[in-house]
Amino acid sequence: MEKKRCGFSFGLGGNCCAEEVLRYHDTRWCKPVHNDQELFAMLVLEGMQAGVSWNLILKKEQNFRTAFEGFDPKIVAAFDENKVEELLGNKGIIRNVSKIRAAITNARAFLRVQEEFGSFDKFIWSFTGGRVIDHHLRDVQDMPAKDELSERISKELVKRGFKYVGPTIIYSYLQGIGIVNDHWEFCDFR
């Protein structure tokens, strides 16, 4: 029997979807993440996604992971202008100078949060007391583009020097790291 999946945010449904998208939906989307390096990776990927489709980001994800040194925030924080130029020449990633510079800025801010809180995981999950927010969605209209939580986290991140962390990007980030579970009620991958 074919498994049921959410049909809204990834163009899922039918047999039209890329393998990467299905794999992401089935194994990663809305699944809790507590590894700091992966939390940083998702923050960069969500920022890169602004203005383009998530499907494109998933198709280029391995290229991003290679170009950004496995998303090790310590390494990315040390990127210099030569590395920025190298990244701008990499056809396998999104070559947007402000997004690339934001990733570097965010790595530095990420490290400051780690230093203050012991881990980024402790910081980001503290906004919900470590709990997953499950919206029990039944219809596409039930899922917001942003909410009070993403607005609050966005403001806090901006205050701490992060870039490309508006409330809509952060809402998507919260889904991507599993703080928010927006799988539909009927989805077999909840």
Name the residues annotated as catalytic: 24, 46, 54
For the chain, first and last CA: distance in Å? Answer: 17
Q: Given CA atoms 61, 66, 72, 74 in this order, what sign does their dihedral have?
A: negative
DSSP string covering 33-72, please?
A: ---HHHHHHHHHHHHHHTTS-HHHHHHHHHHHHHHTGGG-
What one-letter code names the amino acid at 117? F
Q: Is-contact 89 63, C-beta < 8 A?
A: no
- Around Cβ 27, how many Cβ atoms within 10 Å? 9
